[in-house]
Structure 1
Amino acid sequence: MAADSAKGPRPSLTETLFVVFLRLVSAACLWFALQYWAMLTGFGFGGQGRFDLLPTAWKAASTALAVLFPVAAVGLWLLVSWGPVIWLIAAATEIAMHEVYPSIFGVNRLVVFMHIAVAVVFLLFRVALFIERRRQARAVRTDSP
């Protein structure tokens, strides 16, 4: 069956590293999702973070993030275009929680810094891939003046 499959061009080092990066971010999203679900079900924080014991703002935010993070993890792992979009929504929600409303959710600079760092690395990869593909397209056009 291997002889029947079409052989495409080998991915470049940048593309391979980008895939590894997205899969690592996917694993981190799954970890965040498990933490939120553990909190909501009473396994985390000694049962103090159970859904019925949380204030209304925490109920809304943690429920949304408990759904967004696993969806983002699947999208990033499968390398589909909506994966980074869902991650961005979840990251923006957590950044807003800890930076805009610190009196309600507390300050967590590590989470904020981590989300910003991931976004910067993602943008750098996208720029590098754009430049690489542009260079490859230019190299293929041999009939241009």
Structure 2
Amino acid sequence: MHEETLRQSLRPTMAETGLLWFIRLLAIYSIGCGLYYWVRLIGVYPGLLWRFDLMPWQWQTAFVGLAILFPVAATGLWLRAAWGPVIWFFAASIEIGIYSYWSRMFEYRPEIIAVNVACILLYIILRGILFWQRRQQNNFRFTD
């Protein structure tokens, strides 16, 4: 009987599985964002300011930073390293700031703001559910 209980406790919960899939999708999204910023930097982009040397210094600074942060975050997220979500949150916060608060210097992109805010909220909700489940499981274990 004890062996069956142990086997069930080792089985991942729905929240753990959901968080794993969400983090993997977030890693794929982050690598896509990183590629977008690299494409902008190397000049394979149709439109104004299509090359690094034509961009204002604000864009150069922000785009270089995001072109580095997003692929690093994607790597950390995919590997499930503790620093992956931290770097992703930092990069997403910069992107939210660029396209909302500093939109006069850059551009206003509400879709990017909405996606980043939704991802941050979903991550917090999934982590909260996981924390609550583990706490309930630990409380149950101590009362037996």
Q: TM-score, normalised by structure 2?
A: 0.89
Distance 2:143 2:88 in 1: 40
AA of the residue aligned to 2:80:
L
Shift of 1:142: 3.9
**Cα shift at 1:101:** 1.3
Moved more, 105-114 or 45-54: 45-54
Question: Which structure's residues are more often helix, by fraction?
Answer: 2
Equivalent position of 2:10 in the other structure: 9
Q: Tell me if 1:60 matches 2:73.
A: no
Q: How does 1:113-128 map to 2 (within 5 A)?
A: 113-128=114-129
Percent identical pairs in the alignment equals 38
Equivalent residues in 2 for 1:85-96, closer than 5 Å:
85-96=86-97
Report the Cα distance in structure 2 between the residues aligned to 1:42 and 1:120, rounded to whole angstroms. Answer: 33
Number of the residue aligned with 2:36:
35
Gaps of 5+ in 1: 1-6
- Equivalent position of 1:83 in the other structure: 84
Cα displacement (A) at 1:63: 0.2
Other-structure match for 2:27: 26
1:3 is matched with none
Mapped to 2, the partners of 1:33 and 1:81 lie a distance apart of 20
Take 2:138 and 2:15, find their aligned partners in 1: how far apart are those partners?
16
Task: Give aligned pairs, total.
Answer: 137
Q: TM-score, normalised by structure 1?
A: 0.89
Tell me the distance in 2 between the aligned counterparts of 1:54 and 1:119. 29
Kept in 2: contact 1:39–1:45 (CA 8 A): no
Q: Give 1:69's aligned residue.
A: 70
Secondary structure at the aligned position of 2:105 is classed as helix
Larger mean CA deviation between 47-56 and 27-36 belongs to 47-56
Instruction: Give the letter for the 2:43 counterpart.
Output: G
Alpha-carbon shift at residue 48 of structure 1 (Å): 4.1
Paired residue for 1:140? Answer: 141
Q: Does the 8 Å contact 1:35/1:44 carry over to 2? A: no
